[in-house]
Amino acid sequence: MSSFSFSPSHDGDFSAGQNSNEQLSNVSFLLAFVSLAVTLFGLAMLYSTSYGRGNSLFIKQIIWASSGIGLAVGAFAVGYKRIMSYSFQIVILTSVMLIIPRFFHPINGAYRWIKLPGGLSIQPSEFAKIALILFLVNYCVAKQSIINSLNGFIPALTAMCAVAGLVFIGKDLGTAFLICCVSWIIFFSAGVRLIILTSLPAIFLPLTALCLKFFDPERWSRISSFLDPEKFADENGYQLWNSLMALGSGHWTGLGFTESKLKAFYLPEAHTDFILSIVGEELGIAAMILVLASYFIIFISSIYIASQSKDRRGMLLASSLASMITLQALINLGVISGIFPTKGMPAPFISYGGSNILMCAISVGLILSVAKNNDGSDNERPLASIKIKTDIENENLE
């Protein structure tokens, strides 16, 4: 005969749940705090890189950063579930936006920007990264039972190729590569068979190399010149060589804030893709370690939030966005240190550029919304206040 015992609401399981919720809240606060701190650090470094040459870039970045905070709060308030329900419309809209720059004059040989009134511009490829993540995560979860079949996987692969292809045509090789990497991570996390995943880079990497070599020789020469930047210091290796000079001259403590020697005349685009080179020159290796630690904290806290998700969409979304931000940071660091070929890849939260900072802010807002969905305030939390035991279970335990 079964007997029932009722435990008080403060039993061990419920206490563990409370501790888990408190830990999740602490991690969410840490993510928001570090993201804001890195953004403010980026504003300070932008002020330094433009020091003595006017404050127009600095003022524009303040506007973008403030807008980013507003969008992050908006994404957090609306919630990832509601936003993801429009993922198809969002990815279509951003795909159209990727075509619009072709109607503007190229900037540095690339079609990446849409000009706005007031001297501002946006880079659709930054928003395409989030849009594609939203779509692929939503699709892979909805089609989880057939994602390993051709009927299930081909639509997802087509979406990735379409978005990455439009970005590639706009001559943004770095972002196209990042989109493919993050898509691969989503496919892997969704359970796509390894034989399919290993075949993707085996097909696309040689194809991309052939396209660059025969149809874009300038970018192909950039890729080949990074192997010996000193030899090509006056040609395609100019940026990389001066970036290495900046990093090497800073030592541990740097030359001092605003005291960079290379930002004015020797290092083009010092306020965008190579701003971390100026960080190394002015503030030294110690500051670079702090930047790396900040990116690591953002990644680990986001992965923790993903691991606590009770919803598969939330888990995949938070981990994918964390991977995107982290991979972008690693690629940027690899470019300025000569590990990777020179390509347009801004440092998350730090480089000048409205689209970059908006993308990072929206990503953090979405990750925090995943944490909010798991804080125990919803109805998915089991009733831990009642504990039921039967005589049979007690006998088995004995």
What pLDDT does 390 receive? 33
Q: Residue 297's closest CA among 362, 370, 372, 367?
A: 367
User: What is the per-residue pLDDT across 67-82, written as a single tens digit (0 to 9) for each?
Assistant: 999 999 999 999 999 9
- For 97, other C-beta atoms within 10 Å of its C-beta total 18
* Token representation of residue 233: 């210091």
What pLDDT does 236 receive? 58
Residue 127 and residue 327: Cα distance in Å, rounded? 16
What pLDDT does 19 receive? 72
Residue 109 and residue 360: Cα distance in Å, rounded? 26
* Token representation of residue 94: 């951003």
Q: What is the pLDDT along the chain (398 residues), one digit of tens a residue?
A: 444 443 444 455 545 556 778 899 999 999 999 999 999 999 999 988 877 676 788 888 999 999 999 999 999 999 999 999 999 999 999 999 999 888 777 766 677 878 877 777 889 999 999 999 999 999 999 998 888 888 889 999 999 999 999 998 888 888 998 999 999 999 999 888 888 888 887 777 777 777 766 666 666 666 666 555 555 555 556 677 777 888 888 788 888 888 887 776 666 667 788 888 889 888 999 999 999 999 999 999 999 999 999 899 999 999 999 999 999 999 999 888 877 777 778 999 999 988 999 999 999 999 999 999 875 443 333 323 323 333 333 433 33
Bridge partners of 11, per DSSP, are: none
What pLDDT does 233 receive? 53
Alpha helices in the chain (DSSP H): 12-49, 56-78, 80-84, 87-99, 124-142, 150-169, 173-190, 194-215, 217-225, 238-250, 275-307, 312-336, 354-373, 391-397
What pLDDT does 111 receive? 75
Spatial CB neighbours of 160, under 8 Å, sequence gap ≥ 6: 132, 136, 179, 180, 183
Terminal-to-terminal C-alpha distance of the chain = 17
> For residue 171, which amino acid is it?
K
Q: Residue 362's closest CA among 46, 43, 65?
A: 65
Whole-prediction pTM: 0.83
Question: Tell me, what DSSP letter sits at residue 107?
Answer: B
What pLDDT does 378 receive? 39
What pLDDT does 2 receive? 43
Q: Residue 351's closest CA among 340, 342, 360?
A: 360
Spatial CB neighbours of 325, under 8 Å, sequence gap ≥ 6: 295, 298, 299, 302, 348, 360, 363
What pLDDT does 10 receive? 46
Residue 134 and residue 42: Cα distance in Å, rounded? 27
